[in-house]
Amino acid sequence: MTANEHLIRDLVEKHGTNRTALIPILQGVVETKNFISDTDMTEIAKELDLSAAQVFGTATFYSFLSTEPLGKYVIRVCKTITCDMHGKRTIIQTIEEMLKIKVGETTPNKKFSLLETNCLGWCHEGPAMLINEKPFTGLTHERVHDIISDYISKL
């Protein structure tokens, strides 16, 4: 059994084989490897006795269930109105310059992906971003520089 198959077996064991288990299983795959591959989806379909198309249909609906490879750290910068008004563009530029990638791209070493996302629920402390599930708020050029440097140093 490959490592992937192990991962899916474990997740199925934990969440069961009902349809209600599908999203928790997909979330589990994303938590471990940051994206869901085609083989993962076929494997999950087999385990849950669904068609691969049903798994694909569900996975592709949700923005956090990526079916494209993403880096170890996924940076999601909020682009909704108040964060936009309070300097989202500067934050994006800072990150782009530091990591030498554009929005939607992943660094060649597969460590960071930079994405924009819709309202994160931190409008009073914007601009805000998530790195994986962790929120960072009240961002400024300096602050975001420190945060990303910190992540880089931890690699």
Partner 1 sequence: MSESKLKRVDLIFGEYSSVKFKVLADTLKRSNEDILEDLTESGLKGRGGAGFPTAIKWKYAAETPSKEKYVICNADEGEPGTFKDREILTRVPRKVFSGMAICGKVIGAQKGFIYLRGEYQFLMPELKRELEQYNEYMSKMGFDFPIEIVLGSGAYICGEESALFESMEGYRGEPRNKPPFPTTYGYMGKPTVINNVETFVNVVMIMRLGPIQFKLLGTSDSRGSKVFSVSGDTPIPGIYELELGMPLEKFVEEFGDGDTKAVQVGGAAGFCVPRKKFTETVIGFEGVPTGGSMMLFNSSRSMYNVLHNYLEFFEEESCGQCTPCRVGCQQLRKGIVAVKKGDKQSLYLDQLMKLAESMKISAKCGLGQSVANSFSSIVYNFREEMIY
> Which residues of the shown chain bind partner 1 in the complex (CB under 8 A)?
18-24, 26-27, 57-58, 61-65, 79-82, 84-85, 117-126, 130, 133-135
Nearer of residues 7 and 120 to partner 1, judged by Cβ: 120
CA 45, CA 80: separation in Å to the nearest integer? 35
Alpha helices (runs of H) in 16-154, residue ranges in sequence order: 22-33, 38-48, 52-61, 81-85, 88-99, 141-154
The span from the CA of 60 to the CA of 82, in Å, is 28
CB of 51 to partner 1, least distance (A): 13
Least spacing, CB of residue 109 vs partner 1, in Å: 25
At residue 135, the 3 state secondary structure works out as: strand
**83 contacts 127 by C-beta, under 8 angstroms:** yes
Nearest approach, Cβ of residue 9 and partner 1 (Å): 18
In this complex, which beta carbon is closest to partner 1, that of residue 58 or of residue 140? Answer: 58
Output 57 or 69, the one with its CB closest to partner 1: 57
